[in-house]
């Protein structure tokens, strides 16, 4: 996570968006590493969102209390927009 935040900081202060150039990610080692970290972060978020959805469906099927369902739904709603 820290590496992704560091890369976003570097990109926000760069005078030109060189990372958008074709092939730049393959040529610049720092950009390759940043892309690998973003891919890992996205995979982790996908897994967490799937787990939250599965838990929500399981709890709805079991007839869990209304308050608990609302808490799980709130967590799922918070995770889904973050993933984009």
The DSSP-derived string for the chain is -HHHHHHHHHHHH-SS-GGGSTTHHHH-HHHHHHHHHHHHHHHHHHHHHHHHHHHHHHHHHHT--HHHHHHHHHHHHHHHHHH-
Q: How far is it, in rounded angstroms, from Cα 24 to Cα 34? A: 12
84: Cβ contacts below 8 Å, ≥ 6 apart = none
pTM over 0.85: no
Question: Is it the case that residue 84 has pLDDT exceeding 60?
Answer: no
Q: What is the pLDDT of residue 72?
A: 76
pLDDT for 7-48, tens place per residue? 999 999 999 998 899 999 999 999 999 999 999 999 999 999
């Amino acid at each position: 996570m820290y590496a992704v935040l560091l890369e976003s900081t570097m990109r926000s202060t760069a005078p030109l968006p060189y990372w958008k150039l074709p092939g730049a990610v393959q040529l610049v080692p720092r950009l390759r590493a940043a892309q690998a970290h973003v891919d890992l972060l996205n995979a982790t978020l996908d897994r967490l969102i799937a787990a939250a959805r599965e838990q929500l469906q399981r709890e709805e099927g079991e007839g869990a209390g209304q308050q608990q369902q609302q808490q799980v739904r709130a967590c799922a709603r918070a995770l889904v927009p973050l993933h984009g």
